[in-house]
Amino acid sequence: MSRAVRRARRAGATLAAVLTWAGLLGGLAGCDSAGEMLGKPRSPDDLIRVTPKDTAEGVKRDGKFQVEVPEGRLESVKVVKVQDAQRERVTGRFEHDRTRWRPTGEDADRLTLAAKYTVDAVAVDGHGRRVARHTTFTTSVPDERFVGYVTPENRSTVGTGMIVRIDFNREIDHRAAVQRAIRITADPPVEVAPHWFGKERVDFRPEHYWKPGTKVTVDLGLRDVEGAPGVYGLQHKTFSFTVGRSQVSVVDAAAHTMEVRRDGALLETLPITAGAPGRATYNGKMVVSEMLDVTRMNSRTVGFGGEYDIPDVPHAIRLTDSGTFLHGNYWGGRVFGSVNSSHGCIGLRDVKGGSSRTPAGWFYDRTLVGDVVEVKNSKDRTVAPDNGLGGWNLTWKQWRSPDSHG
């Protein structure tokens, strides 16, 4: 994970004192739902211990990799490795009565270089309660080389709001040379323009949302391109993704509703709860960047105190790097459609453990990474364009201007 991503998350977490998908801060989804009834938060290491630590960078190829619990048992461990936008499931085995998980296969003794690993673990603690943890780490890259971590994944099907995001593992001083080495084409053709956010991230998007059915190809010709003095690119890869149907959901924070539209037609109007006064949800266009069946959410990971620590939030859909989620809420009572009670997230009614029959499960099952969720009438600022895939909040003129942001 690049330093730019970490900085965006830290900045987002600071902004999230008013709060609004990198939100893998502290190994936890950093949401913002009302969690007063859940008691005092515990350290994530007290629940599920993952080695290497969350957000670790430059992990050596022979680095130790395991998941363990000090009490209870591991219910499931899912590990995904992404290298050059190629997604691969990492196999593993449980040991010691499911209190430990270790990788098998090619990752058993040697991790893959220049890769990003994502760990999703669910455990049952000594009291029979389910807890979840979500962490990431990246492995080392030779000092004289740089790589770009590409979003979305190769051969994926995404929503019409998808933005191509490339995070670099080190600062890029020769941005023009690197930009020339990245070619993005669309079929049917449409102009696609870059926008840099600092020296470690460049995003690409068209003027308007992609048309459904568009095939997008990303040619990453970085090999031997000098990105900084004495530092050269490592990759020469081609990726592609396909744009699926159009789905745009509009959250009206004042009316406590979310209209879900598919290809322009209204599918459903769902009752929601948004950020309470003083911790309102960001306004503006946000793009789904991650989907988790269940995750843990802890207020400390997004700049709050110990207000909540929810170990098993269902149907969690990330909208910003700083910790805004649209997610299932089983503890909110009768707030949906009437009261804004969260710390900045958007909550949909759900049940403990999650159900496809609830509004949260219904929406989760109909969502793609790349779908747009737009919030209006919230008493907060517009989400920053570099907070997640927020670039649609810049006009086309601003997007094409090198001085408009970053």
CB hemisphere CA count around 128 (13 angstroms): 0
Q: Are 282 and 381 in contact (CB under 8 A)?
A: yes
Provide φ and ψ at 254, rounded to 5°. Answer: -75, -35
3-state secondary structure (DSSP) of residue 375: strand
Give me the sign of the Cα torsion angle 231, 237, 243, 244.
negative
Bond into 311 cis (ω within 30): no
Please say if 31 is a catalytic residue. no
| Residues ≥6 apart with Cβ < 8 Å to 149 | 1, 2, 82, 116, 138, 166, 167, 168, 169
3-state secondary structure (DSSP) of residue 129: coil
Picking from 318, 271, 322, 313, the residue whose alpha carbon sits closest to that of residue 295 is 313
Q: How far is CA 353 from CA 140, 232, 273, 329, 357, in A?
A: 37, 47, 19, 10, 12
Cα 22 from Cα 118, distance rounded (Å): 12
Of 256, 327, 343, 405, which residue is the catalytic one? 327
3-state secondary structure (DSSP) of residue 301: helix
Q: Are 297 and 33 in contact (CB under 8 A)?
A: yes
Single-letter code of the amino acid located at 323: G
CA 210, 212, 213, 215: dihedral to nearest 10 degrees? 10
Picking from 344, 366, 84, the residue whose alpha carbon sits closest to that of residue 238 is 84
Locate tokens 């699926």: which residue?
Answer: 244
What is the β-pairing status of strands 247-252 and 372-376?
A: parallel
Q: Are 250 and 376 in contact (CB under 8 A)?
A: yes
Give me the sign of the Cα torsion angle 175, 25, 115, 154.
negative
Which H or E run contains 13?
helix 3-15
Return the active site residues: 327, 345
